[in-house]
Amino acid sequence: MSPVATTTGLGTGSPGDGGAGLGEGAARRRELILAQSKRSLGRRHLAGRVAVALCMVAVAISLAPLVALVAYTTSRGVHALSVDFFTKIPTPAGIAGGGISNAIVGSLIIVGLAAVMAVPVGIATALFLLERRGRIAGTIRFTADVLTGVPSIALGIFAYTVLVEPFAHFSAIAGSFALAVLMLPVIIRSSEAAMRNVPRSEWEAGLALGVRRGRVVRSIVLRGALPGLVTGNLLAVARAVGETAPLLFTTGSQLFNLNPAQPTAAVPLTIFSLGTSPFPADQQTAWGAAFVLLVFVLVLSIVARLVAGRLNRQAR
């Protein structure tokens, strides 16, 4: 055999043998991995079931207080509901048959004024934080985060010092101011997060076309962030509507009054005053007011989610 043939035979035989060896090695490794996975399959399934069970237990524990609160409040408060309950004012202490119409109207006035105060300021501040960087923006964010954790009673004392004590006069405006300060950090942070979800490229495209900055904010940023803005603002209102401590220092009345400059009743104040009364009739009215307030907060939260979902679908 010639050297050329010998060389050709070696060249063709060796790679073939090596390729077969590599193929057999890969097959053995696959078989080994498959065998090990089969041996650990039962253990992995058991670990997954245990993890799911622990998650379900955690969900049940977290929902138990809410379910218990809703069930107990419903069982105690639903018996007080009637037409007179929503149309009449409270009766004298210990006499059955009173209503909470004064408190419902007062809460609508106080919370409505608080929203008028807080929503524009919160959205404008969020826009500022969206565009600006630096120490001032960082300080505003830090202040908003701190205000989120401030106890509501401290905000009530602040509003009392600013708007009640200097004028020696309780008013719905003072209560609205306290609730507006309470709502403001929630609106700022939620609005900023909603605006940051709007793609920056859309903002820059509007500016590149020569559109004025204010028009870009109105037509692109605010419109794109509208679902998040609605959700954040409604949740802030839902938090404020049930606050009692700020109103104890600011409104100071159970009267039926439509003038925001005068002392005005509110549902949380009615619950506090009648719930601590020794008379069963007053306590029954307090439970009814608590049930109405609970339903209102739940409905407002659900509406916020539904509106946000519908706006998101329309945006797509």
In the chain, what are the domain boundaries?
Answer: 33-80, 82-315
Most confident of 109-118, 199-208, 209-218, 293-302: 109-118
Q: What is the dihedral of CA 260, 263, 264, 268, to 10 degrees?
A: 120
What pLDDT, on a 0 to 100 scale, did the predictor assign at position 6? 42
CB neighbours of 185 closer than 8 A, spacing ≥ 6?
A: 143, 144, 145, 147, 148
Asked if residues 283 and 202 have their Cβ atoms less than 8 Å apart, the reply is no
Cα-flanking dihedrals φ and ψ of residue 18, to 5°?
A: -65, -40
The mean pLDDT of 7-17, rounded to a whole number, is 45
Q: 3-state class of 237 per DSSP?
A: helix
pLDDT at 72 over 50: yes
One-letter amino acid at 192 equals: E
Buried b (16+ CB within 10 A) or exposed e, 55-88: eeeeeeeeeeeeeeeeeebeebbeebeeeebeee
pLDDT at 129 over 90: no
What pLDDT, on a 0 to 100 scale, did the predictor assign at position 19? 55
Please tell me which residue, 43 or 60, carries the higher pLDDT value.
Answer: 60
What pLDDT, on a 0 to 100 scale, did the predictor assign at position 21? 58
Confidence class for position 23, pLDDT limits 50, 70, 90: low
Report which of 130, 137, 111, 150 is spatially closest to residue 229, judged by C-alpha positions: 130
Asked if residues 224 and 198 have their Cβ atoms less than 8 Å apart, the reply is yes
Report which of 125, 149, 120, 148 is spatially closest to residue 137, judged by C-alpha positions: 125
Confidence class for position 53, pLDDT limits 50, 70, 90: very high
Helices 135-148, 101-131: crossing angle, 10 deg rounding: 150
pLDDT at 46 over 70: yes
- Which tens digit of pLDDT belongs to each residue from 169-223? 888 899 999 999 999 999 998 888 888 887 777 777 777 777 777 777 777 788 8
CATH number of 82-315: 1.10.3720.10
* Average pLDDT value for the chain: 82
Confidence class for position 52, pLDDT limits 50, 70, 90: very high
pLDDT at 16 over 60: no
The mean pLDDT of 22-28, rounded to a whole number, is 71
DSSP letter, residue 92: S
Confidence class for position 13, pLDDT limits 50, 70, 90: very low
What pLDDT, on a 0 to 100 scale, did the predictor assign at position 122? 92
Rounded CA gap, 235 and 230, in Å? 8
The mean pLDDT of 251-271, rounded to a whole number, is 84
Token code pair at residue 305: 């989610």
Asked if residues 183 and 225 have their Cβ atoms less than 8 Å apart, the reply is no
Distances from the Cα of 241 to the Cαs of 17, 212, 263, in angstroms?
Answer: 81, 38, 17
